[in-house]
Chain A
Amino acid sequence: MKMLKSTLAIVSAAAVLGVSGFAQAGATLDAVQKKGFVQCGVSDGLPGFSVPDATGKIVGIDADYCRAVAAAVFGDATKVKFSQLNAKERFTALQSGEIDILSRNTTMTSSRDSGMGLKFPGFITYYDGIGFLVNSKTLGVKSAKELDGATICIQAGTTTELNVSDYFRGNGLKYTPITFDTSDESAKSLESGRCDVLTSDKSQLYAQRSKLATPNDYTVLPETISKEPLGPVVRNGDDEWLAIVRWTGYAMLNAEEAGITSKNVEAEAKGTKNPDVARLLGTDGEYGKDLKVKKDWVVQIVKQVGNYGEVFEKNLGKDTPLAIDRGLNALWNNGGIQYAPPVR
């Protein structure tokens, strides 16, 4: 099924690519407004990033990013439809116009940003890096340097495939890669002992571990072997849409920095004395209009989805099964590297 689905997606995408019209500046926003929702490409099930909950609603930081864009464009965060894509399908789906935003823990690299008809708006949802998940009970490995000769499960079509190869070559170690289409298949193969190691972005490893039968038997090794800045992607050639997607993220960061939360945002919008906050929340100036979104776009984003910190804590933070520390993803004035240009 998976295979059939992805082949169909790729072939139909290739066909659509062949016959669909030009991508013009503004075309995406017009199309989105006409159909009344944002079509958002997310992962095929990654806890904390995008995964269906018990009621079938897609939850996670990647899904919330699309909701925030919908809140900015329509003033209604529910006007999103999700397409669940595996790593191999994701770029073709975006290239062909099947989805408007790809918000699927995708690493920003120069080759993906050029020559593939894609553009990264530059906002990074999550600063990540590749790590290794091993069964500490049976293997007794303490460091990635001890992995010589290991069999490694990887998800096909990811930067992980390349970075793992670089790391092992660079350290003169040997390995056998087994690549699967979905992260679930690779996790299953780790459990069954087909591989010694599961490798992926560290955030994914924590998520995968939480899904295993005996999570406590597995450890994430201390090494981080690459930089994996994960962020949303849009089609090349539509700067207007790119700006909306980019500034949605910056608005969420700025809101957190200014202490605006989903609880106090309406009060702040009415009564703020701080000129920065007034500009951000649309009480002063026409910054939303310039972006071609609602005047009160930031109010809608924060009220319906939350600021960056709230979204992070809700999906990945201490109260979730993932319990991921903010780390690099803390604000710049709080020990992290999340830094948003101002809205003005």
Chain B
Amino acid sequence: MQNSIGAPKQRLSLSDPKVRAWLFQIITIVAVVSMGWYLFDNTQTNLQHRGITSGFDFLERSAGFGIAQHLIDYTESDSYARVFVIGLLNTLLVTFIGVILATILGFIVGVSRLSKNWIIAKLATVYVEVFRNIPPLLQILFWYFAVFLTMPGPRNSHNFGDTFFVSSRGLNMPAALMADGFWPFVISIVVAIVAIVLMSRWATKRFEATGVPFHKFWVGLALFLVIPALCALIIGTPVHWEMPKLQGFNFVGGWVLIPELLALTLALTVYTAAFIAEIVRSGIKSVSHGQTEAAHSLGLRNGPTLRKVIIPQALRVIIPPLTSQYLNLAKNSSLAAGIGYPEMVSLFAGTVLNQTGQAIEVIAITMSVYLAISISISLLMNWYNKRIALIER
């Protein structure tokens, strides 16, 4: 429009910052793409020249080896693709349990470090300093070789009421098998959750309107316990238990948590919790003492002060570094190869790579998996962080 009126026509010139910006971006893209293409092409040529098979056909071939722990059904004649899924699930299992336990333990230790009780505070300090400063692989090896493998064999296992057995083969426990009442029971839990959500909404609304508090937690807990219990009483038990029995070399029946899983989860939990404790402590410390005094002067007691004033503000400081700790835990789970827990790296980037010899494909897949897991955790935590962020008006 302006040009047509008669302003001087703009020409492409390097002195124009816009042109420069575009130019540099184009150069960067061309450089990155051609570098990538060069690497890809060179790899392909070399693989072909050396007669190394490439491509992803191997995923359909049958694996032919056994796996100690698989969350989905698996036999030796299943494909490498299924082995991949098993490795992925095993990694996710450790990450999931580890994140939950480390968060709980980390919060407890972090708060304990600030406790007015001298012994508790010092114990928490010692915990943090010890476990934060020992490399995670050593901790994994310690739990595995020094703790779990020194347990007695299955025939002399520690027996807890004939239901739980701890031995060098892991933790054997009764298995819950689906009974007639299983699906009604699941439905009753869903009903309970819906009831809790409705109750909580109603309570919040009433609180905002009238200022009368409501015991959300206790009522919620009651709902959660009573509804499924009634269902089980009326329709019948949701599960029946299968006890582990010693037979031949080992326990038969029931569920078993293998020592590799226990050692790995425990080591990663204890290690990561030490970092989380420090993060929690710094978060709480970041809320100035004036906030506490202000809350007290408004008549809030210690509990509500912590819950409604301190923690919401502390969380804004805690969440971003907490995300990195979760990512670290997910990535550290790959150290399991040292103790033979069949996760992604040990199973897929280890055994499968070796049996097929297709290093590039296998490593590429494995790296993408860790990238995907890490990005998912990041996105989830960023979403949560946004939700709890201070809304500035």
Contact = CB atoms under 8 A, between A and B. Distances in A.
Given A156-B350, A164-B66, 11 more contacts: A22-B49, A88-B353, A92-B359, A115-B51, A116-B52, A116-B357, A161-B65, A177-B66, A179-B68, A181-B350, A235-B50
Contact of B349 (A10, A87, A117, A148): A10
Interface in B33-81: 39, 42-43, 46-47, 49-53, 64-68, 76
A193 B149 contact: yes
B91 interface: no
A11 B345 CA distance: 12
Interface of B: 39, 42-43, 46-47, 49-53, 64-68, 76, 137, 145, 149-150, 152-153, 168-169, 247-250, 252, 259-260, 334-335, 337-340, 342, 345-346, 349-351, 353-355, 357, 359-360, 363
19 contacts: A2-B338, A10-B349, A13-B359, A17-B46, A92-B359, A95-B52, A116-B52, A117-B52, A149-B249, A157-B353, A157-B355, A161-B66, A161-B355, A165-B66, A181-B338, A188-B145, A192-B149, A192-B150, A236-B51
Residue among A13, A116, A180, A193 facing the most chain B CB atoms (10 A cut-off): A193
B136 to A, nearest CB: 11
A149 B248 CA distance: 7
What are the 6 closest A-B residue pairs judged by CB atoms, nearest first? A157-B354, A116-B357, A117-B52, A192-B149, A117-B50, A177-B66
Given A3-B338, A10-B349, A151-B249, A87 B169 contact: no
A275 B308 CA distance: 99
Given A3-B338, A3-B345, A236-B51, A138 B46 contact: no
A22 B46 contact: yes
Interface of A: 1-4, 6-7, 10-11, 13-14, 17-20, 22-23, 87-88, 91-92, 95, 111-112, 114-118, 138-139, 147-151, 156-158, 161-162, 164-166, 168-169, 175-181, 185, 188-189, 192-194, 196, 235-237
B298 to A, nearest CB: 54
Given A3-B345, A148-B248, A151-B249, A162 B353 contact: no
B145 A192 contact: yes
A149 B252 contact: yes
A146 to B, nearest CB: 9
A88 B354 contact: yes
B119 to A, nearest CB: 36
Given A149-B252, A188-B145, A192-B145, A181 B337 contact: yes
B271 to A, nearest CB: 15
B67 A177 contact: yes
B245 to A, nearest CB: 12
A209 B187 CA distance: 57
Nearest to A235: B50
Contacts of A179: 68, 340, 342, 346, 350-351
Contacts of A115: 51-53, 357
